[in-house]
């Protein structure tokens, strides 16, 4: 029932995402910070997702980007990003998705990421592997960073921090290593899991950005850590996700070694 509810909730949010996409009357506002957009579609998708979950599990803990924490005593926590890639979405760029992860006793056990505009549904269950549109996926086999295609995200603040996003990007592109920026961390992670990218890194994410995607990478055979090489928790900001083979080398670039 947990997995079925996850799929149903993800699809419910995706239906809203499709309905509002490219609407000329879409209402857009800005939250605190620069280019921190929220649209009426974010709120409507969140509502549809939470209603689907509450129908089956009314006592479960929910953490969602727009509404924050709805804490309970439950051992289960749903971590929801109703639209990851909102800036893309607001500009009619179809690189955006619904992302939902489910924790049990602090461990991620299920994750789903769905971009209905490209018809790409990624799903993972702890210990059961990861799938793309129902078919098993595996990370790439690239063995060096020089042979890799990477993806990252740039924040709108703290760009000039020592060893920050621009420093790392500069090191990589000066070596001729391709680095992309899609604008959706959840999609970035899923595309690492599917072998399209060989590695993803970002300096500052929220739990809802990565909760589902990092499990999908791990279940596809990849490795996910923080920048210290420690086991990844979505409640800390830094993330490095790779096929595993380039992990230590890429972490060296990130840490300026």
What's the whole-model pTM score? Answer: 0.94
- Please count the residues of the chain: 257
Q: Is the pLDDT of residue 29 over 60?
A: yes
Q: Which residue has the higher pLDDT, 36 or 39?
A: 39
* Range 195-209 average pLDDT: 96
Strand partners, 129: 125
Q: Which domains does the chain have, with CATH numbers?
A: 2-136 (3.30.540.10), 150-254 (3.40.190.80)
Q: What is the mean pLDDT of residues 49-53?
A: 98
Q: At what angle do helices 165-174 and 247-254 cross, to 10 degrees?
A: 120
| Percent of the chain at pLDDT exceeding 70 | 94
The CA-atom distances, in angstroms, between 229 and each of 73, 195, 247 are 32, 21, 9
Mean residue pLDDT across the chain: 93
Cα dist from 31 to 69, 94, 147, 197, whole Å: 17, 22, 39, 31
Q: Among 27, 106, 110, 101, which Cα is nearest to 65's?
A: 101
Task: With residue 123 as reference, give the H or E element that holds it.
Answer: strand 120-125
Q: Alpha carbon 157 to chain centroid distance? A: 20
């Amino acid at each position: 029932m947990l997995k079925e509810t996850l799929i149903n909730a993800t699809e419910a949010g995706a239906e809203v995402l499709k309905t509002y996409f490219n609407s000329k009357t879409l209402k857009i506002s800005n939250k605190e910070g620069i280019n921190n957009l929220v649209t009426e579609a974010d709120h409507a998708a969140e509502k549809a997702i939470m209603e689907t979950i509450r129908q089956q599990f009314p006592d479960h803990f929910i953490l969602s980007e727009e509404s924050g924490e709805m804490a309970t005593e439950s051992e289960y926590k749903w971590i929801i990003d109703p639209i990851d890639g909102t800036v893309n979405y607001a500009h009619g760029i179809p690189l955006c998705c619904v992302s939902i992860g489910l924790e049990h006793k602090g461990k991620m056990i299920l994750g789903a990421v769905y971009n209905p505009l490209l018809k790409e549904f990624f799903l993972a269950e702890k210990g059961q592997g990861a799938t793309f549109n129902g078919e098993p996926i595996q990370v790439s086999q690239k063995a060096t960073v020089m042979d890799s295609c990477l993806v990252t995200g740039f924040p709108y603040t703290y760009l000039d921090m020592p060893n920050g996003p621009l420093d790392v990007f500069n090191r990589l592109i000066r070596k001729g290593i391709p680095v992309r920026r899609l604008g959706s961390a959840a999609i970035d992670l899923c595309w690492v899991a599917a072998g399209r990218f060989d590695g993803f890194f970002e300096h500052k994410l929220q739990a809802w950005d990565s909760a589902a995607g990092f499990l999908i990478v791990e279940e596809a055979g990849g490795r996910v850590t923080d920048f210290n090489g420690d086991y990844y928790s979505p409640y800390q900001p830094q993330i490095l996700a790779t096929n595993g083979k380039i992990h230590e080398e890429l972490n060296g670039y990130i840490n300026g070694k």
